[in-house]
Structure 1
Amino acid sequence: MSETNAHDTTFQSTLAGVTVEGRAHPLSAWFVLALRLVIGFAFLYSGAEKVLVGFDAQGYLLNVAAQNGNPLEEMFLWMGQTDWFVAFVNIAVPWGEVAIGLGLMVGLLTRLAAFFGALMMLLFYFGNWDMAHGPINADFMYMLVFLSVAAFGAGRILGLDQYVEQYEVDGQPLIEKYPRLEYVLG
């Protein structure tokens, strides 16, 4: 028989008929906060650097996938040869990184920021495809960090999401009045 600390938080989820559960130690909140702040800073820094120095994705899109056996080689080639798409990526990547980083740093719209961060890392995963050391690389791990930040509602830990969710509209907390906001806040 195991003892349960009164300060432990129990979590449980069922997916496809399989239920998993666990207990988080109270210090887990600090590690979730650290994940949010570190990945937020990394993205804010990377995006700010691209904004200040300049960024052109065309060479990457045209060449990277062709050099590494990427299963999405044709898609990356199309992206690099399509002028309007390159123009979009040249704005979306640096400013997206800045927005994702800022959102995570202050804990505002955290799940939305983490979703777009994970999506960006998925695209980088395929763009930087390399099976030399197996299917798990740094881009894949960053994607998991973003998904963890979203899953744990990291914006509620010393973040603005905790205040936005409790903001009252017609005498009711925002998150209760509009429960679907839980998909972007938290």
Structure 2
Amino acid sequence: MASREVTLESTVAGYTATGKLHTLSVWFILALRLMMGIAFFQSGLDKVLAGDFSAGGYLTQAVPSNRSPAADLFVAMGNTPWFVDFVNIAVPWGEVLIGLGLIFGALTRLAAFWGAFMMLLFYLGNWDVAHGYINGDFAYMLVFLSVAAFGAGRILGLDAYIERYEVDGQPLVERYPWTRYLLG
């Protein structure tokens, strides 16, 4: 098997970072996508099947008790009935859909974005900095962002096929470049 080194390079705010990927990197990127997909799918499915998920008490009681810097925002959300009704549907079904997107590698960047957003909210809601500001919720947020950045849906995923789907004789992502933000 021939080995090819792939060099990554990015410049942000005048600073350039470069690095070389190992040939096994693709498998680790796939593993991260599947790990987060299975974890979110299972968590969401458990909530959906239980049928009794309710975020109201968590938002109004648990978050303020842990002295989160966003406690007032969470309490306001928890005291807004229509918002609690929305969250009671969005969290379990969002986890299911994010999980399925990652497992199948379909709309991967979109799924990873919403997964990272949910993990940011969980990070703020489950505030615990007794051992530092980096905890599991924060780390999972970065995993979601890595999955999106690496285009993990192209690795044994449906995004590779969706991107090549032809619309008027042109691959989807060439005809509609904005779809790159959803796929990959």
Amino acid in structure 2 at the alignment position of 1:27? L
SS in 2 for 1:158: coil
Q: CA deviation at 1:97?
A: 0.2
Q: CA deviation at 1:8?
A: 1.4
Within 1, Cα distance between the matches of 2:117 and 2:174?
28
Q: CA deviation at 1:42?
A: 0.1
Q: Residue by residue, what CA displacement relative to the aligned partner does 1:1-29 show, whole Å, maximum 9, x if unpaired?
A: xxxx9511111111111111111011100
Q: What does residue 182 of structure 1 align with?
A: 180
Identity fraction in percent: 65
Unaligned runs of 5+ in 1: none
Q: What does residue 91 of structure 2 align with?
A: 93
2:110 touches 2:183 (CA, 8 Å); kept in 1? yes
Within 2, Cα distance between the matches of 1:150 and 1:38?
14
SS in 1 for 2:127: coil
Within 2, Cα distance between the matches of 1:37 and 1:176?
27
SS in 2 for 1:133: coil
Q: What does residue 154 of structure 2 align with?
A: 156
| Greater shift in the superposed pair: 100-109 or 75-84 | 75-84
SS in 2 for 1:122: helix
Within 2, Cα distance between the matches of 1:70 and 1:159?
38
SS in 2 for 1:71: coil
Q: How many residues align?
A: 182
Q: What does residue 138 of structure 2 align with?
A: 140
Q: What does residue 32 of structure 1 align with?
A: 29
Write out aligned runs for 1:108-127 (5 A): 108-127=106-125
Unaligned runs of 5+ in 2: none
SS in 2 for 1:64: helix
Write out aligned runs for 1:48-63 (5 A): 48-54=45-51, 55-63=53-61
Amino acid in structure 1 at the alignment position of 2:139? M
Within 2, Cα distance between the matches of 1:115 and 1:185?
11
Q: CA RMSD in A?
A: 1.0
Within 2, Cα distance between the matches of 1:9 and 1:155?
18
Write out aligned runs for 1:6-17 (5 A): 7-17=4-14
Amino acid in structure 1 at the alignment position of 2:93? W
Within 2, Cα distance between the matches of 1:172 and 1:81?
50
Report the TM-score, using the length of structure 1 for normalisation: 0.96
Within 1, Cα distance between the matches of 2:81 and 2:141?
28
Amino acid in structure 1 at the alignment position of 2:38? F
Amino acid in structure 1 at the alignment position of 2:182? V
Amino acid in structure 1 at the alignment position of 2:157? G
Q: Confirm whether residue 66 of structure 1 aligns to residue 69 of structure 2.
A: no
SS in 1 for 2:19: strand
Within 1, Cα distance between the matches of 2:23 and 2:177?
27
